[in-house]
Chain A
Amino acid sequence: MPHSLTLAGIDYAILVIYFGFVLGIGWALKRYVKGSTDFFLSGRTIPVWVTGLAFLSANLGAQEVIGMAASGAKYGIMTSHFYWVGAIPAMVFLAIFMMPFYYGSKARSVPEYLKLRFDEKTRGFNAMSFAVMTVFSSGISLHALAQLMETLIGWNYNYCIVVSATIVLVYILLGGLTSAIYNEVLQFFMIVLGFAPLVFLALKDVGGWSVLKTKLIPVATAQNFAPGTWSQSWTHMSSALENPMGVSWFGMVFGLGFVMSFGYWCTDFLVVQRAMAANSMSAARRTPLIAAIPKMLFPALVILPGMIAIAIYSAGDHFLPLVDAADPSKGINYNMTMPALLARYYPAGLLGLGFTALMASFMSGMAGNVTAFNTVWTYDIYQSYISPNRPDSHYLRMGKFATLFGIAVSVGCAYLAAQFNNIMDMLQLVFAFVNAPLFATFLLGMFWRRATGHGAFWGLLGGTAAAAVFHGLASSAGNAPSIVKGGWIAQRFLFHSEMGQNFWMAIVAWTACFCLTIGISLATAQNKSDAELTGLVYSLTPKPKSENEPWYKQPVTVGILVLLATIVLNLLFW
């Protein structure tokens, strides 16, 4: 296995200093953890700039840094739709419309909100699927980290797994959610300040933005696309055949922008938990908005380097590694875009900083999953079904045990991923089935008081089933029908790309859940009284007042400004 990075003494020094601070923060926070709410919810005491950056950073896992650079090279600037159509509008929606119910209901987790709003079975379904999903995601993160370190520097895979898992374990055990959140902020600055000089150097090397646009023309034409495909985000979306993503504007806006992004940002406890730890309702609502501002600019940090890399590569400088050196026809290993850029531009010293930032991105993803898991496990599964009515100290102990247990299972999953790549693809697929319809349940739950427990539960199950059936009937160009790739029932729908297939699967699942929930709710009796639903449903909840606050503290004003800025960004790179 070729090693493409060589670390010098100074690089190791930076790595060691960083992990010293990570563990030190956990140690310093130890004395604040007195009860289970401190451990799981940070006692709702965290200042808003911290929850905002942690909200962003918990999602800033390996997929973001490695994956978005890879997509930048593979698809060009269209990758920015994940931010400017997907994430930002969803974050604004969460802040303005949904956060009042999450924070105001005093629910301790997203599944608990479902229990208060609907019933026990809806909560159980969500809690179980979420718990399984988080440990597996954290395992996949861990595996990806160890595999990358092994390929890049030749570190031992097993040591990487054990050392990274232990570091995450120690700082969560010491300081609970607060420690995870504080470290996520540290990781945020590390990632931004570790990769910013890379963008600067790469852009300088290629000759600036306008030269980059010219150099991206042959990348597009070589694959039979219009010349501007890699540098124009919307121009080439009228049909799925015009762009490398293989999606049309409708599939993208509705599938990615509406269903998938709103589903993730508005209902995934991993991110929502950060906002729930804020010290006031106003702070909880501003958390996603504070996160949205840097998020808006992240394409420059993670997508732009990928675009530069492919421009330099196609100009004849073949510094990106191939998937298989013996068989060049398999193409470039896009996942190595970011590491290859680090190796190309960073001298010893700065390389330590960039490399540490890369490790930090993996760990923030993992820690986010683990803290979400231990909360859902302890409150929504253990306290609800296994051992209710115990003293608080018992649940605090269980939370610590769940952290240990969650990390142990993650390590197991990492080895499983190393052994059977297909199992992981399979699991991610199942998660997609479960996640896609969820936003319909929340939307109806929060804005339609007539939605019932039976409607929500069967709507969710039906949506999940619809996703699975649609997946069985759909396949994408270049993939033979299989359990993982789809088309295992029949090949009824053929998509131009897997991404298009996924977007449409989400649309189908959401629509099925939405219609079923409405239908079943109308056919069943409301199981909650209006009094029980106060604080949980829009029409029954007094609107939060923020007139006395200055404009920059009013969620609606800030939200509108964020949306306007996003529209400007879309137009600038149209």
Chain B
Amino acid sequence: MNFDLRLPIGLMFSLFGTVLSVYGLMSDAALNKKSLGLNINLDWGLVLLGFGGTMLFFALRARGRHGSNPPPAK
């Protein structure tokens, strides 16, 4: 089946990561009272971005390697 699940996973978590880190950068420090003073939105947003990016990297690399001809099914 020519459907690589890493692509939607990568896209979704990159998107979540971006949204959270931008929100974390823009929001004021009072928001972080709950999270023990940590800017958890920014920190975790970057983690998600890293995870999403890794997934995307592998998905796109596999796609680039096989181009429009997927490998024959085993």
Which A residues fall within an 8 A CB radius of B?
10, 13-14, 17-18, 21, 24-25, 28-29, 32, 43, 45-46, 50, 178, 182, 185-186, 189, 193, 197, 201, 204-205, 279-280, 344-350, 353
Contact = CB atoms under 8 A, between A and B. Distances in A.
Interface in B1-34: 1, 3, 5, 8-9, 11-13, 15-16, 19-20, 23-24, 27, 31-34
Nearest to A20: B12
- Give chain B's interface secondary structure class: helix
Nearest to A344: B34
A17 B12 contact: yes
A280 B74 contact: yes
Nearest to A189: B9
B36 A201 contact: yes
Given A201-B35, A347-B34, A350-B41, A17 B8 contact: no
A319 B45 CA distance: 27
12 contacts: A17-B12, A17-B19, A32-B1, A46-B1, A186-B9, A193-B51, A280-B74, A344-B34, A349-B23, A349-B24, A350-B35, A353-B44
Contacts of B41: 347, 349-350
B9 to A, nearest CB: 6
Contacts of B16: 14, 17, 353
Given A29-B3, A201-B35, A350 B40 contact: yes
B23 A197 contact: no
6 closest cross-chain pairs (CB), A and B: A349-B41, A21-B12, A347-B31, A349-B23, A45-B1, A197-B44
Contacts of B1: 32, 43, 45-46, 178
Given A10-B23, A347-B31, A349-B27, A50 B5 contact: yes
- Give chain A's interface secondary structure class: helix
Contacts of A18: 12
Contacts of A349: 19-20, 23-24, 27, 31, 41, 45
Interface string B58-74: 00000000000000011
Given A197-B40, A347-B35, A347-B41, A25 B19 contact: no
Given A32-B3, A347-B35, A350-B44, 4 more contacts: A193-B13, A201-B40, A347-B34, A349-B19
B5 A353 contact: no
Interface in B42-57: 44-45, 47-48, 51
Given A21-B12, A28-B3, A50-B5, A350 B20 contact: yes
B24 A189 contact: no
Contact of A346 (B24, B34, B74): B34
B49 to A, nearest CB: 11
A10 B35 contact: no
A13 B35 contact: no
Contacts of B73: 45, 279
A204 B43 CA distance: 15
A10 B44 contact: no
Contacts of A347: 27, 31-35, 40-41
Contacts of A10: 19, 23
B27 A345 contact: no
A87 B32 CA distance: 38
